[in-house]
Amino acid sequence: MIVSNLTTQNSLQLQQCAREERKGARRSVNFAGGLVFASIALMYGIQIVLNLVLQLNGALGGSNSILLEYLSSCISYLFLALIPIAYALAGREPADQLLPFQKPQTVGLTNGDLLLLGAVGMALTLASNYPTELVRMLQQAFGFSGNIPDMPLNHSIGTQVFYLIYGTVIPPLVEEILFRGVVIGCLQRWGDWFAIVTSALLFGLYHGNVGQFVFATLVGLIFRYLRIRTQSLLPGMVVHMLNNGFATLGTVITQNFGSHVSNIYFLTYFTVFYGAAALLIVFRLFTKGTKSFANLKIPYRRMASTLAARVRGLVTSFGGIAMLAYGAILSVIVLVRS
Interval 175-197: pLDDT, tens: 999 999 999 989 999 999 999 99
Q: Is 81 helix (H, G, I), strand (E, B) or coil?
A: helix
Quote the DSSP letter at residue 299: P
Does the pLDDT value for residue 324 go beyond 60? yes
Compute the half-sphere exposure of residue 95: CA atoms within 13 Å on the CB side of its CA.
Answer: 8
For residue 145, count other CB atoms closer than 10 A to its CB: 12
Across the range 316-336, mean pLDDT stands at 93
Q: DSSP string of 135-173?
A: HHHHHHHTT---PPP-----S-HHHHHHHHHHHHTHHHH
Using alpha carbons, select from 239, 207, 211 the residue that is nearest to residue 223: 239
pLDDT value, residue 149 = 67
pLDDT value, residue 3 = 46
Across the range 109-134, mean pLDDT stands at 92
Give Cα 234 distance to the centre of its chain: 14
pLDDT value, residue 61 = 66
Q: What is the pTM of this model?
A: 0.90
Interval 247-300: pLDDT, tens: 999 999 998 999 899 999 999 999 999 999 999 999 999 999 888 888 888 877
As a whole number of Å, the CA-based R_g of the chain is: 22
Does the pLDDT value for residue 54 go beyond 60? yes
**Alpha-carbon distance values, 85 to 45, 46, 95, 111, 181 (Å):** 18, 17, 9, 29, 9
Does the pLDDT value for residue 21 go beyond 80? yes
* 338 vs 333: CA distance, rounded Å: 9
Length of the chain: 338
Interval 209-237: pLDDT, tens: 988 999 999 999 999 899 998 989 999 99
Q: How confident is the model at residue 6 (pLDDT cuts 50, 70, 90)?
A: very low
* 150 vs 157: CA distance, rounded Å: 18
